[in-house]
Structure 1
Amino acid sequence: MKDLLKQLWFQVMLGMIGGIVLGLLLSPSAFALVDEKIAFAIAPWVALCGNIFLALIKMIVVPLVMSSIILGITSAGNVDILRSLGLKIAPYFVLTTMVAVTLGIFITYLIHPGTYVSSEIINQIATTSVPVEKTVLNLSIPDMIVGLIPISTAKAELDGNILAFVILAIFIGVALMNIDDEDARPMKDLAKSMQAFSMKVVDWAMKLAPYAVFGLLCNITIKIGFDAISSMSMYVLTVISGLLLLLCFYLTIVYFVANIKPFDFLSKIREVQLMAFSTSSSAAVMPLSMKTAEEKLNVPTTISKFVIPLGATVNMDGTAIYQVCAAIFLTQLYGLDLSLVEVVILALTTVGASIGAPSTPGVGIVILATILQGIGVPVEGIALILGVDRILDMCRTTINVTGDLTATLVMKKLTGFSNTSEKSANNLVQAQK
């Protein structure tokens, strides 16, 4: 038992259970052991440790992402390995996102969750105003393409645009491989130092993880209680069913491509999944994802340091399912019938929207608002799903990180790059100096 208590995944699980139990005891819409005002006053203090944890991760995510990608690219040994990896990972991410969207459309039309919501709730949300922030989807396609190039890193940092830093890091990494080693060495050393101090901060943050999970889940449980979930149970069931179908798709890939049994794979990545579920942030668990890929899944460092930071930004299959399910659910709610062409447009828009979405909690709602405008659904409908968004955010983030880890195994198989070949490539580079 003592050994079990030392395991991070077990500590996180205890934090999850404790947070949910305490949250239900305090929640006004559950057991309500204290007055509503007292409960809502307690909530932010309980969540303090969790918010500090997330702030630490957000503070360090940019240097960690950039250093990891730069080192991942430069450690490939030669441009051919990098080109092979890049040409395979891009279509793979697009393909899995399309599969996710297709599963979302299928499950939503199968269950028809919009028909289970009472007219009283629909009338209630009709008077609710939901502000919509401007997103990249409001731009024309040429502007979107130009917008991928980070003109101002300061603006990208303020906007939470991690994709801009990913692209900048890719440019730096490729450039370093095409200049003299003497000129590239200082930048490589800087990247190594940057990653080292980033990982040290992450180590400090991870010591807070069990307490952070407890506080974050207690806080959200106090706020949502039973009422929000019960009134939207069929919608929640629909999204979770879609996510489970996508998980089965991943497990099938892992079994046939990497020859790893589903339960063995889930056992190896459980710490990552628990952290993702608790924090609702792919960025927050990215260091743990890379460590898990390298140590438990035996993925070469070159692949893990390139695929996982990239995947945390552009591989949002769980988010894609959520967005398409929510959009179709609201069309059913308002009695709107989408034509086949409109469904195809919705699918393509969702694929584009999920790629490059910031890997932080709650961003799916902002992107969903833009998608709804494109298919003629009143944005006010978002008010209905806000109550259950956080619990679904936790679920879809879990699937997102599972997809990233699956991608590392697929790339390992497709590129034929192993830990042995990685060492050989590094030795060859050293010999050429």
Structure 2
Amino acid sequence: MNTKFSNPLKNLSNQFENMVRGRLWLKVLFALALGVIAGILLGPDLGLLSADTVKNITSWLALPGQVFLAIIQMIVVPLVLASIVLGLAANNNPDAMKKNGVIAILFIMFSTALAAIIGIALALNIQPGNFVDASALMEAGTDQVANVAAKGFPSMADLPSKVSGLIPKNPLASMASGEMLQVILFSAVLGAALLSIPAKQSKPLFDLLSALQEVSLRIVSWAMLLAPLAVFGLITRLVANLGVEVLGGIAVYVLTVVIGLLLVACFYFIVAKITTKQKFSLFFVNVRELLLLAFSTSSSAAVMPISLKVAEEKLNIKPEISRFLVPLGATINMTGTAMYQGVATVFLAQVFNVDLSLSSYLFIITMSVAASIGSPATPGAGIIILSMVLEGVGIPAAGIAIILGVDRILDMCRTSINVLGDIVACTTVQYFSKEDVIENKNIPNSEQPL
């Protein structure tokens, strides 16, 4: 009897192992599902274990995730530096490079403003603020709100110093502190300067940066082996500490944000279909693993090497475009974050019964676009941007406490959209700059495991 059923079970197990082997996106998705289940079992809703025991267990489970993020963030700065300089070097036509930059900036500003408008329109129609009892949720995030408020809000008088501060006085200090916009500006200046000197003198440094880029990509490929364990541990800790009941309390708000992000994704897929001439299914297959990894890390910068690989090898984007726009997009292209600002601001206005005028909505859109530029491409950046928007339209900053509980989940979702926007920005620039796509016969334009 046991023999009768052992072979089918063994065959099923072998089929599952073959399906998962080599497909990182599937492993990540499977780990995500297991993490949610483990989080529910360890969470306060079932009460199977004491709070201290759960905290200890989830801390150890989250260790692979913390190591994974630390390795990725360790290598981001050298990778950005090498990628931008080499991207500029690959394009020896200054006029074409200038044209590509203008097209990219216009597309990013348009898509970011459109995303903020989508968020505002959805929140006005669904009105998620009417489904929330603010008093019960405010207490849980008081300390976190104090930490956000302590960062302060920039005024118009501070703007000139903020602009001049974008130029790194000490590039090494900017690299050490992870100030990505300053790193990008320094890389651009360095690349332009190398192009202006004789090739014989610049070649050694270009060779060094090329080797640095390859080493960085190799380290990232090693770190990706931890991705499934990282996702499992981080999601388990999130669900176990938060609990299903708190998630359900603002489910309508979460659903509104997710719908908005899906609408922005649809916009990007339509643009990608036009600019790449690929079917939706093929483009989705090409980017799905990248989007899942962005979802798991909540950082555009962390998945930058994979973004470059997808852009160049699967979508045939020229290196001079991808290696310039992907690092730039990770810093200034925050479309998913802008959509989230629109929903969250209107949601909190409904909770606190704050009437927003037309000028307030225009301010939200403008700030969503402006504040996204230069924001760190790291987890949690959206909350800092949101605090500035709330201050500008007269909504109590303490309202952030209401949404802090689910912000980690939404941060993961909007990061995927931000990364998708970086890829589509590359396809759009290549399309409008009338560049010929790369002829790559070794790597077919279809699904391949990264």
TM-score, length of structure 2 as denominator length = 0.89
The farther-off stretch of 216-225 and 384-393 is: 216-225
Counterpart of 1:257, as a letter, is: T
- CA 1:127–1:66 in structure 2 vs 1: closer, same or farther (change >3 Å)? closer
Deviation at 1:156, TM superposition (A): 2.6
- How many angstroms apart in 2 are the aligned matches of 1:11 and 1:421? 31
Give the corresponding residue for 2:7. none
Shift of the 373–154 alpha-carbon distance from structure 1 to 2, 3 Å rule, reads: farther
Aligned residue identity for 1:177: L
Matched residue, 1:16: 32
1:142 deviates by 2.4
Residues 47 and 409 of structure 1: CA distance in aligned 2, closer, same or farther (over 3 Å): same
1:327 equivalenced with 2:342 (yes/no):
no
Match of 1:361, SS? coil
Residues in 2 aligned to 1:248 and 1:419: alpha-carbon distance in whole angstroms: 24
Pick the aligned partner of 2:195 from 147, 154, 177. Answer: 177
Structure-2 change in CA distance of 1:87 and 1:229 (3 Å): same
The separation in 2 between residues aligned to 1:126 and 1:223, in whole angstroms, is 13
> Is 1:357 aligned to residue 387 of structure 2?
no
Q: Does the 8 A contact of 2:28 with 2:228 survive in 1?
A: yes
Matches within 5 A, 1:400-411: 400-411=418-429
* The 10-residue stretch of structure 1 (120-129 or 362-371) with the greater mean CA deviation from structure 2: 120-129
Q: Secondary structure of 1:284's match?
A: coil
Unaligned runs of 5+ in 2: 1-14, 441-450
Q: Does 1:97 align with 2:112?
A: yes
Distance apart, 1:127 and its partner CA: 7.0
8 A Cα contact 1:130 1:382, kept in partner: no
Pairing partner for 1:156 from 155, 159, 174: 174
* Correspondence 1:297 to 2:315: yes
- CA displacement at 1:186 relative to structure 2: 2.1
SS state at 1:172 partner = helix
| Distance in structure 2 (CA, Å) of the matches to 1:83 and 1:127 | 47
Matched with 1:431 is none
**Structure 1 contact 315–355 (Cα < 8 Å) conserved:** yes
> Match for 2:28: what amino acid?
V
Q: Does 1:134 align with 2:151?
A: yes
Instruction: Report the Cα distance in structure 2 between the residues aligned to 1:378 and 1:135, rounded to whole angstroms.
Output: 14
DSSP 3-state at the match of 1:130: helix
Query: Which residue of the partner structure matches residue 430 of structure 1?
Result: none
Call closer, same or farther: CA 1:309–1:40 in 2, change over 3 Å.
same
Distance 1:158 1:338 in 2: 41
Query: In the alignment, does 2:278 pair up with 1:260?
Result: yes
Count residues with an aligned counterpart: 421
One-letter code of the match for 1:115?
N
TM (normalized to structure 1)? 0.92
| Equivalent residue, structure 1, for 2:69 | 54
User: Hey, which bits of structure 1, 4+ residues long, moved more than 6 A?
Assistant: 125-128
In the alignment, the residues of structure 1 paired with residue 196 and residue 439 of structure 2 have an alpha-carbon distance, to the nearest angstrom, of 21
CA displacement 1:239-274 (0-9 Å, x = unmatched): 111111101111111122222222221111111111
In structure 2, the residue matched to 1:227 is 245
SS in structure 2 at match of 1:269: helix
Identity among equivalent positions (%) equals 40
Structure 2 counterpart of 1:63, from 71, 78, 84:
78
Q: For residues 27-426 of structure 1, what are the structure 2 equivalents within 5 Å?
A: 27-29=43-45, 31-118=46-133, 120-121=135-136, 124=139, 130-131=146-147, 132-134=149-151, 137-138=154-155, 140-157=158-175, 159-420=177-438
The offset of 1:375, in angstroms, is 1.4
Once the 2 structures are TM-superposed, how far is the Cα of residue 78 of structure 1 from its aligned partner?
2.2
